[in-house]
Structures are given as structure tokens and as C-alpha cells.
Structure 1
Amino acid sequence: MPQWSDHSNGERIKILRGGEIKQAHLAEMTGLSIATIQAAEQDKCLSLPTLLKIAASLSVDTSVILGQQAPRRALRQEDRTMMRDLSHSVHDTAAGITPAVEAPSLDELAQITRQGWELYWKGHYSEAGSLSAPLLRSAAARLHEQPAGQESAAWGYMADAYRICAYVANLMGVRDLAYAAIGHAQHAAEKANDDLRKALVMSGRSWVYMRDARLPEALELAERAAVDIEPRFSRATPEQLTVYGSHVNFAAVVASRLGDKDRAADYLSQSHATGARMGNEVRAHGTLFGPVSASTQAVGINVALGQTGKALALIGSIHETEQLSEAAQHRYALDKAMAQADAKMWDASLDTLESALRGAPQWARHQALPHVIVSKVGRASTARLRRVSKLVGAGPGATGFPAATAKNAL
């Protein structure tokens, strides 16, 4: 597959507009003639004014069209437009620019925040991002209207909105925005004086670090977040157990990426104990945790540690995943497919992967692990492999630039 820089400028414009935007539509978006668009795509003429207008309409930097940097993985036109609005909202609100929107009530903010998290945990990341930008502006408007000394609740919703923005940006590969948003979330959580929110933001920053391959720092943050909110089991609320369980589980994830089996096993033990104490899955503060979450996430952790036997044994003991969020169910399917591939169960792995890709094509667009699985399976089952490879081609790497490696498949 050619590198992004191997394409001509015209080819890159064609790839970026994809099948969703016709030449005539791009001409309308830019205010240019169809002939000018055709000339640009045929590499006959691309003046600076034309370049600037096309880049702005496609929501990319000019350097992307010129091949100096690759486009964000799996970003379509609507994704790029959403990310631009998200970026404006994050930076404007952090700069103290009061948005010209009507301030909703705190109850209304709570409801919209729940909707944002529901979209996120369904794996509808573009929709979650589209909602979180106006949510952030609305929370900022509410904060501006709050009486002095009564701002803590509004700051809490600011922290939640920034955190959703950070998570969406991190999944979309827009790392600078993810760092900025999670930093603003930390400031807002401190203003809200909410220990659980502060721990959740710290864990969120750890996840950004992990996706950026800063593993030692990610583990340090994940461990600190878990320790800061470790509850007394005898009197812990379900909400506290949910947040704590998700934190120790994530600490196990990061430890597994570092290859630290003892540390990962210790955190997994705490995760399973917390899940057993809860008895069922509970949602709180934009996260979900319980005994099923502990077991399914342990599969991926054992896969990362190369403990295929343990992963397959866990898979054999997991029978009901309906309590999980849709995104968690899909992720478990990928971990299961990876474990099967590691065990050279080629056909079973491709069947599991195909089912996940067909069941959640929009979610799969933002995942790199399918490419890793297909690469591992190799030529083992030609008919299935061709079929699944075609499905994977609809996700990362389909636009002519390299797919992510296993290192970035987290």
C-alpha cells in the first residue's frame, strides 16, 4: 500500500473527498468552478488560493493535501468537520470566551451529559463529539450565569464535557486536542472539588498517555488515580466501587502493555474482587463496571501479556455480555478474535472478527486491532480472509495511507 506522500496532490484531494463528496459538491463548498476542481485533481493547476479553499472545505490542513503529513486515521469529511467544531469549543471555552447560547439548567446539563456518554459507550464517536461541542458551550454559559459561591456543579459538568471531548479526540487520533481537553477537564474537576471526577480525569490522561506510547507515565497516573479513591469495601457506595473498579482495571491494562505480569495480575485480582462485591454492572460518572467488565477486560489484558491459554479459558467462562455497553461488547469480540488468532484458530478468529465488523461498522472504523488480527492470520483461510480484509478495508488504512500497527491498536 502506498504511503500518503507517494500520492500526487490531485490524488490526495480525490481521496480526501471520497465517495461522499462529488466534484460538483466540492465546487459549491469552495465557491470554485468544476473546471478548477477538475484541474486541481488532474494536477494541472493548484494555485495557493485554490489550495486554501479546498483545504478549508475538506476540514484539513494544507500540509495534508501537499503530502507533508498524513490525514488523521479513519477520519471522513463529517469527522473532520466535527473535530474542527470540537477544537473551537475546547479552546474558546478554556480561553474564557463566553458563548452566545442560552444557559440551560443544571438538570438539563445532567441529561445532555448522560446522552453524550451513552453515545460514546455505544461506539458512536462522531455523534458523541458532535454533541459534546455544544454541551461544552452550554456548560460554559451555565457557569457564567451561576451565582458566586454556587459554581461547583457547573464546573463538574464542564469537567465531564471536556472529558468526552478528550476521549473522542484521542480515539480519532487528534492527540494535541486530546491533551488540551483533558488538561482543561483537570482544571474544571479541581474547581468542582469532586474527588471522583478528579480521579476519572487522571485516568483519562493516563489513557491519552498510553495511546501516545508514554507507558511508564500512563501507569504512574493510573496507579495514582486508583489509590486516591480506593474505598473501604464495607461502606463503599456502588458509584465509588464502579469508579474504583474501572481504575484498577485500567491500571492492569497499562501494566500489561508494559509486559509487567505481576503488576497486571495484582490489579486484575483487585478488579475481580471489586466486581464480585458489586454483583452486577453499574454506570456512574460516564463509566461502567461490574463482574462482567472485569472478566471481559481481563481477556484483552492476558492477550497483551501473551497468556493465550488464560485468555481462552476466560472466554470459555464468559456467557453473557449483554450488560456491557455496546462498545465494550465490540472490544471484547476483538480481544476474543485476537486470542483465537494467537492460538492459530484461524477460521474461528476470522468468524469472530467478521461478526464484530458487520455488527458495528461505524465503531470499527476507529479501531486498529482488526488490521493486526488480519495480518496475524495471514493466508490461513483464503476465502474468509478476502471477505474480512474487504470489511477491514472500510476502516483505518482504507484511504491509501498506512494502517496503524499493533502498538497503536489500543
Structure 2
Amino acid sequence: MSALGENVRKHRRLAGLTQEQLAYAAGLAPSTVAKLEQGGSVRIETLHILARALHVKTSQLMASDTPEPVRGEDPTRVGLAELRSALTPPLGIEDCVNERPDEEPDLPALLEVIRTGSASYDSDKFGSVAGKMPQIIRDVNSAVAYYDSGDEHAQALSARAEAYLLGGRYLTQVRQYDLAYHALSGAMRDARAVQDLNTAGYAVVIMSWLLLRQGRFDDAERAAVETADRLEPRISKASPERLAVWGWLALQAAAAAVRNNRPDDGAEARRIAESAAAALGRQADSRHRFGRFDSAVAGMKGLEDELITENGDPYRVIDESTAKARFSDHAMKAARIAETDKEWNRHRLTVATAYIKVGEHDKAMDRLTAVDYANPQWLRHQRMAQDAMAAIVQRRKRRLTADMRSMATRLGVLG
């Protein structure tokens, strides 16, 4: 029996449940519980459902264990070899330092390249980001080596912090977590060195996202909460950047708490996020470097959490996201939100999941198709989309339509 299986068995017995009773309480097949206790593996989402049925934190069921053998090389990992080399250069027995370049770097031009890369990432042009990132990393390292003191050194560190942050965002998106962790740690280090707490705080936002994806809910929440406490602004005087970072940290804390079966803490964190969004809404100029954050984003994230809680109501998610409701496609278009906006499309996946829960698979497909039209590169990296499509394939009683088969193939659900 694996450590994970032992934990599930221990908590099941403490709850006085048989395998069949636990499966019934969790809405799972008895064979799923039996297989897990015998040493099988399950997705984090299934573990969360079991933890909720056992009234324990999801993290209490987790344990270190020997990973499954690698059966094949990840082509994405191979494709990132140049970026990996730039971020983690080879080390020998001698100290490794960046050589000082002969030519003086153009710091304003370098910063413009980095921010253009961020715009490409926000537009889901992942191939463009992957192609440019290795040279960007080399250039910022050269700039830091060239300017070893003074204002130019601080500017070079600030540029490197933004470059590493961009690398961390991209690498987390494509699930290269160890390399992303390295990049985000570098972003935090350089941002703190120049007292840029907004960039350092946003790096923690992305770090919390990374930890969430790894199922490290306690770590994700702790990082977000501690940083939010450190950066808590005076609402009346805070800049748009500080409010946005503070709000995103609160949303990450809420997401971690809800997934760890602590809904009350999640609700409290969402209230903080809503306060940040309300303050941003009162500012004449709410532009900032860290993507869209507003009351709509906070509300949509709340509906995503709604589906995870024990008494989550998919009909509420649908009601608030269709026709002319506040989080509907109609409302987003009226607010002139771009079709490629990640938060809008993430919400469409939430709505698709809600439709699947009530058995309306065709309407779920409408949402998936809309996202595929707007953000095809982004969609194929979304686990929520893969889960939604897998649920349609498994639950649909009638034959899959051609569009369903095509979407399932693109998302890797069907071979």
C-alpha cells in the first residue's frame, strides 16, 4: 500500500466508514476508493473530493511517495532546452560568473523587449515568448554584470526581475514547475534588492499559482497570505499596481483555502479581494503592469470556487453567467473586454463545468468552442478544459458529435 493509500485508509477508518460508504459520500465509484487504498493513484481533484467527504484538509491525505516511472520524454521539455540553459547554466567546480560584456547594454530598449514579451504572453503567443526568452535572459544577465553599481545596476536588476517574472509565468503555464520556481525565485530576489515590492509581490502571486497546480495548498495559501499582509496598502493612497497585486494575492489565498476544504478562510480572502477591486474601480487611472484585476475578475473567481465547495450550486454559476447577467459573455463584450482575455475564458471553462454537472453537454461544448476560437494555444494547456471534455466523453449517453470528437482529440482526451 502506498503512503497516499495508507492516509486515505486511516482517515476513512477514523471516520467510521467502509470503502463503499466513503465512495457514496464522495460521489465516486467504490472501485476508485479500493484502488487508491491498494496503492493506485488519483488526480488531485479526486483527492479533494475524498478529503471533503472525510472532513479533512486535502493536504492531510497527501504524502511523499515514489513517482511513477517516466514512460516517454515530454516534447515541451525538450523544446525548452535553450531556455533551461539560459536560466540554469552548467556549473563546474570553479565559481561561475557572468562575463562583463564589451558593449554597454541599452537598458530602455531591453526593458521594452521584456514588456513586449509580456504582451505576447498576455495575448497567448506562447511560441513567440519561448523563442525570445533565452536571449532576453542572457541579455539581462549581461546587463547586471556590466553595471556593478549605481543607478544603472539597480535598473538592470529591475529589468532582470521583470524578465524572470515573465519566464516564471510562461513556464508555469506550460507546467515546467521546477524551472518556473527557479525563475520566480530570481524575480523575487532581484525585485527585493531594488525595493520593488509590487513586482516581488506579483512573483508570489505566480508562485502561489504554481504551488496550487502542484497540489501544495498549505504552501500556496501561506505564501499568498503572508505576502498580502506585508503589502497591505492604505486604500486611499495605494497605487493601482499595489491594489492589483494585493487583490491577486487574496484570490490565490482563497483558491488554496477552498481546495483545501477550508471554505470560511476562502470567503474571508475573497472579501479582501473584493475590497481591492472596489478601490481600483474608484481610481481614474487603473492601468498597471500586472494584467486585468477588477470586480468582475474577483466575482468570476468566486464562482469558480463555488463549484469546488461542498454545497456548490452549478445553477447559480449558470444563472450569473448567461443572458445579460453580470458575468455573461454579453456583459464582457459590453465592458469591451477582449475575446482573448484569460480571466473571461477561464470563466467560460467554469460555466462549461457547471453545465456538465447538470447534464447539458451541448451548452458546455458551446463554451469550450468559444474559448477554442479565441485562445486556442491557451486552451490546450488548461487542465480544467481537459477535465470538462473528459467528463463529456464519459457521461454522454448518445454518440459524440464530430465537434466533440475533434475537441477531445485536440485536448488529448482521445488518442
The CA distance in 1 between the partners of 2:90 and 2:194, in whole Å, is 16
Query: 2:332 — aligned with what?
Result: 320
Distance of aligned partners of 1:359 and 1:198 in 2 relative to their CA distance in 1, 3 Å threshold: closer
Query: 1:355 — aligned with what?
Result: 370
The CA distance in 2 between the partners of 1:128 and 1:169, in whole Å, is 10
Query: 1:311 — aligned with what?
Result: 317
Query: 2:143 — aligned with what?
Result: 142
Q: Which residue identity is paired with 1:391?
A: M
Establish whether residue 179 from structure 1 lines up as the match of residue 193 from structure 2: no
* Residue 297 of structure 1: how far off its partner (Å): 2.2
Distance of aligned partners of 1:127 and 1:262 in 2 relative to their CA distance in 1, 3 Å threshold: same
**For residues 105-254 of structure 1, what are the structure 2 equivalents within 5 Å?**
105-146=106-147, 148-150=149-151, 151-254=153-256
The CA distance in 1 between the partners of 2:259 and 2:215, in whole Å, is 9
Q: Which residue identity is paired with 2:337?
A: Q
* Residue 97 of structure 1: how far off its partner (Å): 2.8
Gaps of 5+ in 2: 1-68
The CA distance in 1 between the partners of 2:287 and 2:120, in whole Å, is 14
Q: Which residue identity is paired with 1:136?
A: I
Query: 1:33 — aligned with what?
Result: none
Aligned partners of 1:347 and 1:384 also within 8 Å: no
* Residue 103 of structure 1: how far off its partner (Å): 5.2
Query: 1:273 — aligned with what?
Result: 275
Give the secondary-structure state (helix, strand or coil) at the position aligned to 1:235.
coil
* Residue 218 of structure 1: how far off its partner (Å): 0.9
Aligned partners of 2:114 and 2:163 also within 8 Å: yes
Aligned partners of 1:278 and 1:290 also within 8 Å: yes
Give the secondary-structure state (helix, strand or coil) at the position aligned to 2:276.
helix
* Residue 88 of structure 1: how far off its partner (Å): 0.9
Identity %: 20
Distance of aligned partners of 1:152 and 1:366 in 2 relative to their CA distance in 1, 3 Å threshold: same
Gaps of 5+ in 1: 1-66, 401-410
The CA distance in 2 between the partners of 1:170 and 1:235, in whole Å, is 33
Establish whether residue 364 from structure 1 lines up as the match of residue 379 from structure 2: yes
* Residue 307 of structure 1: how far off its partner (Å): 3.8
Query: 1:87 — aligned with what?
Result: 84
Q: Which residue identity is paired with 2:292?
A: L
Query: 1:392 — aligned with what?
Result: 408
The CA distance in 2 between the partners of 1:242 and 1:145, in whole Å, is 33
The CA distance in 2 between the partners of 1:126 and 1:381, in whole Å, is 38
The CA distance in 2 between the partners of 1:255 and 1:234, in whole Å, is 28
Q: Which residue identity is paired with 2:142?
A: A
The CA distance in 2 between the partners of 1:213 and 1:349, in whole Å, is 26
The CA distance in 1 between the partners of 2:192 and 2:409, in whole Å, is 43
Query: 1:55 — aligned with what?
Result: none
TM-score by length of 1: 0.72
Distance of aligned partners of 1:129 and 1:225 in 2 relative to their CA distance in 1, 3 Å threshold: farther
Q: Which residue identity is paired with 1:311?
A: V
Q: Paired residues, what number?
A: 328
Distance of aligned partners of 1:84 and 1:383 in 2 relative to their CA distance in 1, 3 Å threshold: same
Q: Deviations over 1:281-333 (max 9, x none)?
A: 94533332112222222222222323424423432322115436622232221
Aligned partners of 2:273 and 2:298 also within 8 Å: yes
The CA distance in 2 between the partners of 1:145 and 1:310, in whole Å, is 57
Among 359, 366, 370, the residue aligned to 1:344: 359
RMSD: 2.7
Give the secondary-structure state (helix, strand or coil) at the position aligned to 1:234.
coil
Query: 2:350 — aligned with what?
Result: 335
Q: Which has the higher contact order (CA 8 A, sep 6+)?
A: 1
Aligned partners of 2:161 and 2:186 also within 8 Å: yes
Q: Deviations over 1:80-131 (max 9, x none)?
A: 42x1111111113995334869654232232122212112222222322322
Aligned partners of 1:121 and 1:328 also within 8 Å: no
